[in-house]
Chain A
Amino acid sequence: MKRAVLIAVPYFWLLALFMIPFLIVFKISLSDAALAIPPYMPTMKEGLGAMLSQLDFENFIFLTEDDLYWKAYLSSLKIAFISTVFTFLVGYPIAYAMARAPTQWRATLMMLIILPFWTSFLIRVYAWVGILSTEGLLNRFLMWIGIISDPLIILNTSTAVYIGIVYTYVPFMILPIYAALERLDESLIEAAEDLGCSRMKAFWLITVPLSKGGIIAGCFLVFIPALGEFVIPSLLGGSGTLMIGKVLFEEFFSNRDWPVASAVAVILLIILIIPIILFQRNEQRQQEAEE
């Protein structure tokens, strides 16, 4: 009896506030826009049978015809992919150096990596606006030391979005890679060096393969949220940068086209399912390897 209550309360909470909302999104994505409140039809009022018979895939067909959406999905994938690569290039050396640091420093270094994660995401993105703008600190600094004579235009381009994603998501890359590297048995590298490997070669043949699980986990932890990102492209990317999270937000709040916004959400989810499944597989393999 008590056990049933224990299970039922969180279960029904999630059913009501996660699962059902989801089904509603799916249903509305199959509806038509209407000048009414709520602004779509059919609704439940006409009875379930009548409602079901009026649902169709029109919005999805519309999404394939209008190249704005195609371009937004493709450019989200591109931006998420490129920034994942950059995050890896920035994150790996940091994780590597942390794992090599003296043991008594490691807890502090760890805390310093996690600390920005607790501070507001919005503020961390906002901090870059003042740095990257045309009269911003970066341009003034570069002009002062004489590298450039005219300010670079970085804010409101996709470069700014890359910088924003790398900056905010790099802790997600560092932590799993650090965890993998810290477990790595250093005598393996010593053995390789004793057997005639150069330092570089030992790194490529031993360190990299053994930290593969951490690298894969880190890449997915950056790629998955970057794909649906809204704050970074809106604040740093300007109107020229197309990302699907931003399109969805605008479709809903500016155009008030709920059925199309819902269809955009459904397709975004379908795209996300593949990396999420791959990520879970990787996690499972890691756990099995540990046992």
Chain B
Amino acid sequence: MNRLSPFNVVSLTFGFAFLYLPMLILVIYSFNKSKLVTVWAGFSTKWYGELLRNEAFLDAAWVTLKVAIISSSIATVLGTMAAYTLVRGGRFFGRTLFSGMIYAPLVMPEVITGLSLLLLFIGIGMDRGVMTIVLAHTTFSMCFVSVVVSSRLATFDKSLEEAALDLGASPLQAFRLVTLPIIAPAVVAGWLLAFTLSLDDLVIASFATGPSATTLPMKIWSSVRLGVSPEINALSSILIGLVSIGVICASLASKRHTLRIQREEREAERAV
């Protein structure tokens, strides 16, 4: 077993300290009694209480959650369809344009995506609000879903699908019974990615929305522009906590899944 040299230990320690200390400080100071964020005045949970009584934040959180659930679900369906067409669809008219449109939003600056969508919504006279944010988020996150799903589709054995078709399954049945279970982890990962991208987005939502809908990042943005506030620290700590729990659970689940598959493979080998 290789052991880490002192230099590597130092780089890992400093690296992870750099990544995690700022967030840790944020969480610690969310329990600060003082309104002055940098002066420690004793432990208190009062900012969490204030936060829960703040209607504007709760409304924004609800809008954000709604947008994230709807847009990531539509994006997962569209992104999976796009991935399937790109990997299995063969040739069709405008394929290059299609794959270009899938990859371009991944590297497009958010200000440009946001600006162009706003100009479209204004051009066709659409009322801006929750609906337009959902459309905007679906558009860029379906591309991320498609990339995640197509990397999975590209690596699995195509003959499994062909066997199902030979044995009399309709294409839809073959997809539902063979392909979908195999690519399911990638589809779930794609949904999660789309969901967090939507929860996180400030710039595109700011362009796409109208006066009727404010998302949580927009709300956070307008208050942090005025400086550090303990309420935002409390809100950030809740979000950091939720994400950490989610990611840790997901990675434990995927580890168990891998172990189970390995065990099943070993048993299958023994049976042969």
Same complex origin of A and B: yes
Nearest B residue to A26 by beta-carbon distance? Answer: B116
Instruction: Give chain B residues whose Cβ lies under 8 Å from the Cβ of A136.
Output: 38
B89 in contact with A18 (CB, 8 Å): no
Complex-state Cα separation, A24 to B124, whole angstroms: 11
Question: Which of A17, A123, A245, A252 is in CB contact (< 8 Å) with B236?
Answer: A123
A119 in contact with B120 (CB, 8 Å): no
Q: How far is the CB of A231 from chain B (nearest CB, A)?
A: 6
Question: Which of A94, A107, A111 is in CB contact (< 8 Å) with B11?
Answer: A94
Q: How far is the CB of A21 from chain B (nearest CB, A)?
A: 4
Q: How far is the CB of B166 from chain A (nearest CB, A)?
A: 19
Instruction: Give chain B residues whose Cβ lies under 8 Å from the Cβ of A248.
Output: 111-112, 115
Given contacts A18-B104, A119-B240, A227-B109, contact A9 B116 (CB under 8 A): no
- Choose the segment among B16-24, B48-56, B179-187, B264-272 that binds chain A (4+ C-beta atoms closer than 8 Å): B16-24
**Contact-residue bracket for chain A:** 35 or more
B196 in contact with A118 (CB, 8 Å): yes
Restricting to B57-114, which residues have a CB under 8 Å from any CB of A? 78-79, 81-82, 84-85, 89, 92, 94, 97-98, 101-102, 104-105, 107-112
Q: Judge whether B244 is part of the interface by a CB distance below 8 angstroms.
A: yes
A123 in contact with B220 (CB, 8 Å): yes
Q: Judge whether B202 is part of the interface by a CB distance below 8 angstroms.
A: yes
Complex-state Cα separation, A227 to B111, whole angstroms: 11
Instruction: Give chain A residues whose Cβ lies under 8 Å from the Cβ of B41.
Output: none
Complex-state Cα separation, A98 to B22, whole angstroms: 21
Complex-state Cα separation, A279 to B232, whole angstroms: 37
Given contacts A2-B172, A38-B122, A94-B12, contact A127 B203 (CB under 8 A): no
| Chain A residues in the interface with B (C-beta under 8 A) | 2-3, 6-7, 9-11, 13-15, 17-22, 24-25, 28, 38, 90, 93-94, 96-98, 100-102, 107, 109, 111-116, 118-124, 126-131, 133, 135-137, 140, 167, 170, 224-225, 227-231, 234-235, 245, 248-249, 252, 258, 261-262, 265, 268-269, 272, 276, 279
Q: List 21 A-B contacts (CB under 8 A).
A: A2-B171, A13-B138, A14-B101, A14-B142, A18-B101, A21-B119, A100-B4, A101-B8, A107-B255, A111-B248, A111-B251, A119-B239, A120-B200, A127-B22, A136-B38, A167-B19, A229-B109, A235-B225, A248-B111, A265-B111, A276-B107
Known: A122-B202, A127-B23, A128-B22. 10 other contacts (CB 8 A): A6-B84, A10-B81, A18-B105, A18-B139, A94-B11, A94-B12, A107-B251, A113-B19, A122-B217, A230-B203
| Chain B residues in the interface with A (C-beta under 8 A) | 1-5, 7-9, 11-12, 15-16, 18-20, 22-23, 25-26, 29, 37-38, 78-79, 81-82, 84-85, 89, 92, 94, 97-98, 101-102, 104-105, 107-112, 115-117, 119-120, 122-123, 135-136, 138-139, 142, 146, 171-172, 196, 199-200, 202-203, 217, 220-221, 224-225, 227-228, 232-233, 236, 239-240, 243-244, 246-248, 251, 255
